[in-house]
Amino acid sequence: MTSPPPILEARGLAKEFRGFAAVDGLNLQVREGSVHALIGPNGAGKTTVFNLLTKVLKPTRGHICFRGNDITAKSTADIARLGVVRSFQISAVFPTLTVKDNLRVALQRPNGLSGQWWKSLNALDRLDERAYSLAEDVDLGKYMKHRAGDLPYGRKRALEIATTLALDPVMLLLDEPLAGMGHEDIEGVTQLIDRVAKGRTVLMVEHNLKVVAKLCDKITVLARGQILAEGTYTEVSSNREVRQAYMGS
């Protein structure tokens, strides 16, 4: 039996900064429905890969395909419209707006669900209905009237994820979703990622290897812009080169 084609594929992807290869001929395949981690030491090229996949940066060489179609020349907005949506490390919520208003704003973004449904009759009611449903999806229902800036850190991350879900993604790119979190928040946000991954594909950059082991079907280890190892957590963590280069043992 042949395996299904990858939902997202990078072929020979490269990015040079003044001759320095930050990403160096990357061949990456992300399987539909998987939770795939990109790990590696600082400077390995992980963020650059995310920037290339979402066209924040233009590749020096190589191609990116989504569902078999070459999307290398597409804009960030076009890529989001296809359903490939990224969350950022830096907090992207409006701190002085309530949770509800943050979700309303997210739902009305040009590439959001807006085009499909909110211009119809009872638009505001439907907008609110959708905002509440999104909030429930990430356990923020009881925080709707709170200012986003007053939320505890883990809840703020949940709101960020909800604003990403407002774009109805088929594929989520999560950039260090657990960065800066304490133990309790890590647990909650890990469960949340596990839940939002159902029926979607997730590619995440994450340093917390315990969480990567728990959530991810496949792990790609990057070092100096190239793939050092790939496989399940058990496979990559038993790879000697990975242990030396990344895990320090």
The reply to whether 87 sits near ligand ADP by the rule CB under 6 A is: no
Alpha-carbon dihedral sign for residues 224, 227, 233, 238? negative
Count the Cβ atoms, other than its own, within 10 Å of residue 36: 23
* Interface mask toward ligand ADP for 58-77; x: CB under 6 A: --------------------
Tracing tokens 């981690």 back to the chain, one arrives at 37
Residues in binding contact with ligand ADP, number by CB under 6 A:
10
- Look-up of token digits 């001929």: 25
Kindly state the smallest distance separating residue 242's Cβ from ligand ADP, in Å.
15
Q: Which of residues 16-55 bind ligand ADP (CB under 6 A)?
A: 17, 22, 40, 42-48
Nearer to ligand ADP (CB atom), residue 40 or residue 83: 40
Question: How far apart are CB 84 and ligand ADP at their closest, in Å?
Answer: 18
Q: Residue 198 to residues 6, 169, 211, 215: CA-CA distances in angstroms?
A: 17, 12, 17, 11
* Rounded distance between C-alpha atoms, residue 68 and residue 181, angstroms: 37
Based on CB atoms, which residue is closest to ligand ADP, 43 or 95?
A: 43
Q: Which of 210, 203, 149 is nearest to 6 (CA)?
A: 203
Give me the least distance between CB of 199 and ligand ADP, in Å please. Answer: 28
Question: How far from the centroid of its chain's Cα atoms is residue 4's Cα?
Answer: 22
Give yes or no for residue 83 binding ligand ADP (CB under 6 A).
Answer: no
Residue 17 or 117: the one with the smaller Cβ distance to ligand ADP is: 17
Q: Which is nearer to ligand ADP, 42 or 234 (CB)?
A: 42
* 12 vs 21: CA distance, rounded Å: 12
Is the Cβ of residue 21 or residue 105 nearer to ligand ADP in the bound state?
Answer: 21
User: In degrees rounded to 5, what are phi and psi of residue 127?
Assistant: -60, -45
Q: Should residue 114 be labelled a site residue for ligand ADP when binding is judged by CB under 6 A?
A: no
Residues of this chain that bind ligand ADP (CB under 6 A): 17, 22, 40, 42-48
